[in-house]
Amino acid sequence: MSLQSSGGVSPFALRQVWLEVVRQLSHQLVESYSRAKKCTTEGRGLMTLDLSALRQGLEKLSRIKPLPHWDHVLGFVNAFYLQEAELTAWAAAHPLYTAAQVQSVAECGCGAAKGKKERLALVATVTQAHAEAVAAARARSAQQDKQMATPAPSTVESGSSHAGSRSRAGSRAASRPLTPSAAHDAEVNLKQQQQPHSKDTTSSAPPASAASAAAPSQHHDAHSHAAADADADLP
């Protein structure tokens, strides 16, 4: 099935299906090869030829080139040609393989020509290096997850720095002496705030001078009225 003859399936969806097929196939090939009890030099050559033919057919069908995850299979097959020191370094550099798969390479690869005791020692060394690599990879993954889950401290520090700068600016403004223009403005504002209060007190209580001036006029009017009444009583 090619991208052109996919019918109603979109090219993007079909590509995703092929990517998943290749991924599953590569892992299944490694698992199947690791279960072999013996692996001769001719058998390794045949595995390499089979993988080459399979890769060409998949690239032609899927129109995806190069195939993803294919190095996972080739790396496992090529590990059978490695010597003891190289095999230990390979196991430490490839934590994605399982412990059983690494053990199979050690037993059927360079360990196949060794005696039982030497072969067991080789398997122990290779599997130990692989276990340390797996532990280190898990630690790095956990550290990355922790860093992604923890919020960045820059936002908190920036907020506190802004608040500190605002408080320092306010304290500097309070301690700074007033300029002549600022002092004049403050005096004008103070007078404007006091003016309504003075007007209210003036309107509510009459001036003392006005009250004292009104008192003699009222006394004079009363005296005039009394004199008029006295004249009216005379015959």
CA dihedral sign of residues 220, 226, 229, 231: negative
71 and 94 part of one domain: no
1 and 76 part of one domain: yes
User: Where a domain ends, among 150, 178, 194?
Assistant: 150
Crossing angle for the helix pair 41-62 and 11-34, nearest 10 degrees? 170
Widest pairwise Cα distance in the chain: 171
108 and 48 part of one domain: no
Specify the pTM. Answer: 0.59
- In total, how many domains does the chain have? 2
Residue 1, amino acid = M
8 and 68 part of one domain: yes
User: Where a domain ends, among 34, 57, 81?
Assistant: 81
pLDDT (tens, 9 = 90+) of the chain, 235 residues, equals 454 555 678 889 999 999 999 999 999 999 999 999 888 888 888 999 999 999 999 999 999 999 999 999 999 999 999 999 999 999 999 999 999 999 999 999 999 989 999 999 999 999 999 999 999 999 999 998 888 887 766 554 555 555 555 555 555 544 454 455 555 565 556 556 655 544 444 444 444 444 444 444 444 454 444 444 444 444 3
42 and 88 part of one domain: no
- The tokens 């506190």 sit on which residue? 160
Residue 151's pLDDT is 73
45 and 95 part of one domain: no
Half-sphere exposure of 192 (CA within 13 A, CB side): 6
CB atoms within 10 A of CB 87: 23
74 and 41 part of one domain: yes
Q: Which domain holds residue 72?
A: 1-81
> Which pair of structure tokens corresponds to residue 101?
């798969």
> Which pair of structure tokens corresponds to residue 88?
């230990």
Are 130 and 60 spatial neighbours (Cβ–Cβ below 8 Å)?
no
In a domain, 155, yes or no: no
Are 52 and 70 spatial neighbours (Cβ–Cβ below 8 Å)?
no
Residue 214's pLDDT is 45
In a domain, 119, yes or no: yes
CA distance 59 to 52: 11
Residue 211's pLDDT is 44
68 and 92 part of one domain: no
Residue 164's pLDDT is 58
27 and 55 part of one domain: yes
Residue 150's pLDDT is 79
77 and 20 part of one domain: yes
Before 66, cis peptide (omega within 30)? yes
Residue 9's pLDDT is 84
User: Where a domain ends, among 150, 183, 204?
Assistant: 150
In a domain, 101, yes or no: yes
Q: Which residues contact 108 (CB under 8 A, 6 or more apart)?
A: 36, 37, 38, 39, 80
93 and 113 part of one domain: yes
CA neighbor of 94 nearest in space, from 51, 138, 134: 134
